[in-house]
A = this chain, B = another copy of it.
Amino acid sequence: MKEKLIVIKVGGKVVEEEDSLTQLLNDFAAIQGNKILIHGGGRSATKIASLLGIESEMVNGRRITDSETLKVVTMVYGGLVNKNIVAGLQARGVNALGLTGADMDIIRSIKRPVKEVDYGFVGDVERVNASVLGDLIKKGIVPVLAPLTHDGCGHMLNTNADTIAGETAKALAGIFDVTLVYCFEKRGVLLDETDDNSVIRQLTRAEFDAYVTQGVIQGGMIPKLENSFSAINAGVSQVVITLSSAINSNDGTHVIK
């Protein structure tokens, strides 16, 4: 039987504010067994870019990454945010290792082709080196992944943290029994957006399709759940959508096969 592995993705907001970061570090440290953390960091990047006089241009919620912006995200995601998390986890007895996709060639991407929009130095994940990550994890090392990959030709690429989490979970599903946890600002997928207690506890593909048809699930939640079912179909055992403060509870929406 495969060992269990929990892959947790947290957004920028959680890791950029001292109080929520402290809580996350405590909660993450308390998780027993194999684990990986994937973090965002967009708000800090926007703030520092602005202080450096670089304007952050967003299209469809995605950052346009010109060469100056690439420097900023490489600094902020790969340096500031990542190393603060690593140092904080080490202080809590977690043997964390901060990584970008370039380190040990763990995630290689292709620079997104220019269609209607030129996203600049943004990477679409090509492959995750599951064997290298798996060996680290089996030694008790806890990878902390920044949302950065590389193209194998010497360029770092800005890469969506949700995508990195999904692709990493899928790749590791061949080695581990993987639970993927997407943390976000709600308790889970809600039946009624205005009622935080209306969390859908369990969601299959058929139920999801029905809720979409009924208009219960809509907007940005649809691509998030499409990603979740894609992970499930690729061998991930379950996907949980929940608050970052709930990673040790059984709360949230459990997306299952």
Contacts and interface: CB of A to CB of B under 8 A. Distances in A.
Interface of A: 48, 51-53, 71, 74-80, 82-84, 86-88, 90-91, 95-98, 100, 102-105, 141, 148, 150, 152-156
Majority DSSP secondary structure for residues of A touching B: helix
State the copy count for this chain: 2
Nearest to A76: B75
B104 A95 contact: yes
A105 B95 contact: yes
Contacts of A88: 154
Nearest to A135: B139
Given A74-B84, A83-B102, 17 more contacts: A48-B75, A51-B52, A51-B53, A74-B83, A75-B80, A78-B78, A78-B80, A78-B82, A78-B83, A79-B79, A83-B100, A86-B103, A87-B150, A90-B152, A91-B153, A98-B102, A98-B103
9 closest A-B pairs by beta carbon, nearest first, are A79-B79, A91-B154, A75-B75, A78-B79, A75-B79, A87-B102, A75-B80, A87-B150, A86-B102
A90 B48 contact: no
A116 to B, nearest CB: 28
B86 A100 contact: yes
A28 to B, nearest CB: 13
